[in-house]
Structure 1
């Protein structure tokens, strides 16, 4: 039996438990992008389109490498409509993520629709003159994606997820800083290959620093930290708590007044349990 077959048969359940909650769309959006919580003007309607390619081969358990033959490959596209509205002097937003794509782990693969996510945001502070924004958002991921309890790999997760995220953004001329903490809670998956799967809450902290090199070109560096999310199967703890550090480099281009393009490279730096991955991404934003 070659290494790939050995890994796919012996380590596939372990791999799934440790990687899917990290790599599926709602988690991959956690912490967002630099300046992501700078509110658009009242009445703004827009659409964001994401394309991301994420790969990884190294799997870690308790900080030690188990294998370099995971053969993880994720191609993800997301359609994200956004709408901003001022209510009683407070800026609010309604957004949704509609993700689709394909996923491969070892010799197994799946393609189709991932679970959609709906987002409601509020800005208690939205002060462009002082370059200060404070926001709170509630993310709700619904179990509407493709799911089959008998499959090893699913794009849907067959459970609800609720993430509360806060953000503070402060600008100093062309220089901006963002701090984005959040915590995510999960309902149980009552039928995960015949077992009940529960997951502990996951804490996330993202920080961004960005700089306008010109009026139409900016650069950003981001750090993402995740901790928690240990999985329990039929009441048995799996001892697989997530603790991951990742960095992302972003180059942003304002192509025209209503068009923005971000190009990104993201890489995990340290993984306690799960896959070490790297990701190439594009984000296009159009304002109607």
Structure 2
């Protein structure tokens, strides 16, 4: 009986996290600086991420460890670089009720929702071989991408804390960049659309309005093997409804951060990034955390 009472209280508190229900499955994965810059055609890239974050929403606090595997393959379409990517998250979550700490923590550890991404260069970003790319001078670019989130992660409608979101998500994105000597100026924008979750905290229906965002990066090349960036993201919209009733949790969030990227060899590198929410509506979550990434190219 005590377990059922704890689960019910958590389910009530978790309505404060409804607007970021896909956060832990990778659906809110932000771009890092220099993510969309040109690369040679016909290469493979493998990424391993470890994100550690804290999400503070009204009545509930969640600590999350998110492990992501990301694979990308580049190719040529009509002389422009294109790529297909797959992202698979695995999450470890721990939630506590701020007003009832004596109830202890609620935990979940499982696979999140898979993401599939198609990207294509619209301007700049010519499709070059490895040898051609080594002689190429970077230029301004505009890239389009479409993200599809598949609801294949762990989800239990009787459980308040899940790694999967039990809904589809679609995110068209435009990414742009402009080089100025050792500096890159980048601006990305996107809109996320969501289908309904008809098994939200039982047999309730969770709906969410489109969420839109703009993200900027100013990065500086420290050496051929290292760069540093200042990052900022604004997100809005995304208000949720449960059984048709608005939750009054529309986002108006500003997140700032910084990133250090490095190359240990021509094929092997990584980055370390920190981010923190500096502005948010009272009923939307406050998120902060670190990202550690390693990547290998072949």
The two structures have a TM-score, normalised by structure 1, of 0.89
Give the structure 2 partner of residue 145 of structure 1.
153
Contact 1:209 1:222 in 2 (8 A): yes
Question: Equivalents in 2 of 1:89, 1:10: separation in Å?
Answer: 51
Deviation at 1:84, TM superposition (A): 0.4
Shift of 1:237: 1.1
What does residue 14 of structure 2 align with? 13
The residue matched to 1:248 in structure 2 has which SS? strand
Partner deviation per Cα, 1:117-156 (whole Å, 9 max, x = no partner): 0000000121553521210000000000001111111111
The separation in 2 between residues aligned to 1:263 and 1:92, in whole angstroms, is 26
Between stretches 112-121 and 241-250, larger displacement belongs to: 241-250
Aligned Cα root-mean-square deviation (Å): 1.8
Q: Once the two structures are superposed, what CA deviation does each residue of 1:40-88 show, in whole Å capped at 9, x if it has no partner?
A: 101111101100100144x3xxxxxx56xx3310000100000100122
Shift in alpha-carbon separation, 1:20–1:105, aligned structure 2, 3 A = farther
Mapped partners of 1:190, 1:9: distance in 2: 19
Residue 113 of structure 2: aligned partner: 115
Conserved 8 A contact 2:24-2:163: no
1:178-217 alpha-carbon deviations (Å, 9 max, x no partner): 1000001001111112101110000011000000111111
Equivalent position to 2:74, from 84, 89, 105: 84
Distance 2:195 2:11 in 1: 28
**Distance across 1 between alignment mates of 2:114 and 2:264:** 29
Gaps of 5+ in 2: 1-5, 97-104, 127-135
Name the CA shift for 1:10/1:98 in 2 (closer, same or farther; >3 Å). Answer: closer
Whether the aligned pair in 1 keeps the contact of 2:52 and 2:290 (CA below 8 Å) is yes
- Alpha-carbon shift at residue 19 of structure 1 (Å): 4.0
The two structures have a TM-score, normalised by structure 2, of: 0.86
Q: Which residue of 2 aligns with 1:245?
A: 254
Q: Deviations over 1:255-283 (max 9, x none)?
A: 11001110111111111132212101111
Q: Quote the Cα distance in structure 2 between the aligned partners of 1:254 and 1:87.
A: 28
Q: How does 1:226-241 map to 2 (within 5 A)?
A: 226-241=235-250
Q: How many residue pairs end up in the alignment?
A: 272
Structure 1 or 2: more strand by fraction: 1
What are the ranges of 5 or more consecutive residues in structure 1 without an aligned counterpart?
Answer: 60-65
Output the CA distance in 2 between the equivalents of 1:50 and 1:133.
Answer: 26
What is the distance in 2 between the residues matched to 1:11 and 1:187?
22
2:130 match: none
